Amino acid sequence: MAEPLVEVERLAPGTMGEVRPLLLDLLVEEQDGYDHPRASRAEIDRDLLGQLRPGFQGENVILVTRDPTGEVAALCWCVLFDPGTGLEGEVAEVYVRPDRRGQGLARRLLREAVELFAEREVTFAAVWTHPKNEAAIRLYRSAGFAPTEQLVLTWLPGAGGGSRSESDG
């Protein structure tokens, strides 16, 4: 059966508020799928959704530690971005040089990343890793990150023309 033709419109910047009620409905309904405190529609509207904007802003913040010689020993790359609904964060990369592992450097950097997210009033922060990377999972959990009930699906270009893979994290 053929799909009906439906016209798609790109909202003009001044009309983005038109979708706000739908976004609120979505955010209210999605709460049923997660084991966390529920917020009212008014709380979501006031505290989470923010003003819808057509622009997108982002910033990279790279946190590092150095060894006694001044060389970088470990890094934590944080990405801060506002997709138009409030500031979000991501821990994009965490890396500790092999000769400096086991000294708590990653844990210290992640604490600093979480402090950065709190200072900047990030509304949502994420970190991605493979489910078999037990050390990373322990590290991220120790910094306050927790698994969610979301299923993350990815689309990658050049993967046979369509969506290709289901991401494990």
Mean pLDDT to the nearest integer, 36-46: 85
Q: Which domain holds residue 68?
A: 35-166
Q: Is residue 152 part of a domain?
A: yes
Given this model, what pLDDT does residue 24 score?
86
Q: Is residue 15 part of a domain?
A: no
* Residue of 49 and 157 predicted with greater confidence: 157
**pLDDT for residue 101 is more than 80:** yes
* Cβ neighbours of residue 83 closer than 8 Å, sequence gap 6 or more: 56
First vs last Cα of the chain: how many Å apart? 35
Report the largest interatomic distance among the alpha carbons of the chain, rounded to a whole angstrom.
Answer: 68
Q: Is residue 155 part of a domain?
A: yes
**pLDDT for residue 168 is more than 70:** no
Query: pLDDT tens, 59-90?
Result: 999 999 999 898 899 999 999 999 888 899 99
Q: Is residue 48 part of a domain?
A: yes
The pTM assigned to this predicted structure is: 0.75
Token output for 131? 């489910």
Domain count along the chain: 1
Q: Is residue 114 part of a domain?
A: yes
Q: What is the CATH number of the domain that holds 61?
A: 3.40.630.30
**pLDDT for residue 169 is more than 70:** no
